[in-house]
Structure 1
């Protein structure tokens, strides 16, 4: 069964010197009809002024859980390196309860070296960070099953990335949602690889919801053309990003209107 078409917005917690700007943005996103509000898990801006304003991911998700009513919320994505997996499971379960069962747990291996260096984490290598993610995923699931009270639902696990040797096998085994940062042709290739990894472990690849970022440069026609092309490949969750201080949601509105016309 094909999942319903959904629209996400990533409210990047950078360049907003007043948290009220982010609070307002997530409420506006919910009013607009966005399905999921994401943030990200970094400690410094990724672009623009590197010393610009920035807020932390998980404390923000706890606030969003209280102030929203309908939309799902989550990190796009949590860096596996920054928290013990047992602790992360407990944090996710707690935010899930605060939100009434609306959390999506996005996970990735981490990549932004400044976060690691300035916060005292071992950066390692791309391979070692992916190995650490592989070790964390079963521990996280095990702890989730021991928590009292348990989560209000099975918290969907989203894994971000499309590396063919290490990331996609983890997606096949552990994820409910696969988020890819690729174009249409590359997505098609990676999706075929994922199907192969699923076959190896006896899992139906249709069980994994497909998610992709959609970049907006002000060209509505090009944006909707990409949306049509990537959803034709099986993607059902499209997420567009915006940052502070303005948190312009015009691209999110464009996509929500397109979603509603295609339902």
Structure 2
């Protein structure tokens, strides 16, 4: 009985907080993530054992215990899990739980990786056809909750862990990396260079990056050192011709 209910409790954790759980095989290779997930599994199993211990303790003091079929509690628990998943949006729940009415400066000292990962998780459920305007609106909504650096780090972590590249999330990272707010608050981090690495060989992403870099350099000419140099482009395209659009942006 304990393993069955422990499995149900773990399913609850997965259904209500899906972001920390890897979706691909590559995600299970990160030791830091596995440590957190192992802790979650252990906590759920410990909770089940505790509940059974309390129940047995109460039953020991009763003159008689009701003879209930085992399938009843199991079916009830599984039905509750399904209904809860249908009624509650886990990503919206994460936004509510993690809401902090604080300024970006105050939030910078309080965020952690898991919280940031939960907040960027919705980007990885978006279809590839999501327009840039919708992505920018979502990024703007996250501004009170995450610093630009934390947002970009969380997006990059998840992108690198995914087996199947998420086009919408990669575009979101490029949009954020080339935003004036990022240029002002992430000086020296060279976020556009990371965006170049995330874009890879995808011509649509490279075109978006080149367009955004052109605008950024016009608005922030002194931050040109944070943008990809010719050497960065050569490293990004080893043994291949550098796309003309990126040459113009460098």
If the length of structure 1 is used for normalisation, what is the TM-score?
Answer: 0.31
- Which protein has the larger Cα radius of gyration, Structure 1 or Structure 2? 2
Flag the structure with higher helix content: 2
Q: Which has the higher contact order (CA 8 A, sep 6+)?
A: 1
